[in-house]
Amino acid sequence: MPSFKIGCQTYSWEMLGAEWRGTPERILDAIAAAGYAGVEFSNNMIGKFFEHPGQFEKELEKRGLACAAFAYARDGFTDPRQFEEDLAGVEKALRFTAHFGVPLCLGGPSSPSRENAGEKITQALSFYQEVSRRAEGRDVLLAIHPHSHHTSLVITAEEYEHLLGAIEPLGIGFNPDTGHILRSGQNLMACLRRYRSQIRHVHIKDVDASGVWVPLGKGVTPLGEILSWLEETGYNGWVVIEEESDAVRPDPAQAIAANRRTLQAMRY
C-alpha cells in the first residue's frame, strides 16, 4: 500500500460553469463510485455545506469518503479593495477545514494584469499572513496553490522561489500542482525536490507537450516517477487527482473514473 491516499478534486464539475446544474451530493456519488478515498471541494462548489461541515461529514460517511482538503480562491488576493471580503470567506473556510483537520489550500496570487505585479504580490502576502495568524490554534495546515492560467502572477521558477520563500516563515506550505508546474515551463521534478520540505498537499493532473490538458496518463506528466518519489520521501498526505481536459464535458463522472483506473493499473 502507498504511504499516501488518493482523492479527487471537484474542478471537473466547476469548469462546466452554468452547464452544471447538479448538487454536491451528486459529485460525491460519482467520486465514491470511481473508487477514490477522498474528495477536495472548493468554496465555489461546496454549496450549502460551506457553513454546515457536520452535515457534509454525514454525506461523506454515507459514501465511505474522507475530506482530503478544502480549496479557497476568489480573485487572486491581490486587490486591497477585496481584502475584507477575502477574509470573510477564509473565516468560513478555516472553520470548515478545522472541523475535519485537513489542509486549507489557498489560490496563488493572480490578477487580470501583470501591471504593478510586485505590489499585487505584496498584497497577496499580506492576505496570507493574516490567514496564518487566524489559523493559529486551529487544526489546519495552510498551503498555497500557484497556477498557470493567464491571470497568474507566479509562473517562473524565480517567482515560485520568491513566493515560497516568503510564506515559509509564516508556517504556510506548498500545494504543488504537476500540470501547472509543467505548463509554466519549469522542470517538474526539480521543483518538487527543491520544495519537498514545504509540501503539504499534492495535486496531479496531466498536460501534453503543448500545454493542453489531457486525461491522466495521456500526456507528459511522469506519473510513475512522481508517485514513487512521494513514497520514497515518506509523503503520507493526500494525492488529489484533477481532470480539466475536454474529456470532462460529455461526462465528468466517466472522466474522473478513467483517471482512477489509470492509477489502479499502476497499483495505486
In tens, the pLDDT along 63-108 reads 999 999 999 999 999 999 999 999 999 999 999 999 999 999 999 9
Give the chain's domain count. Answer: 1
pLDDT at 139 over 90: no
Specify whether the CB–CB gap between 40 and 7 falls below 8 A.
yes
Write the CATH number for 111. Answer: 3.20.20.150
In tens, the pLDDT along 182-222 reads 999 999 999 999 999 999 999 999 999 999 999 999 999 99
For residue 198, the enclosing domain spans: 5-265
Burial class (CB within 10 angstroms; exposed 0-12, middle 13-18, buried 19+) of 17: exposed
41: helix, strand or coil: strand
For the segment 113-138, the average pLDDT, to the nearest whole number, is: 97
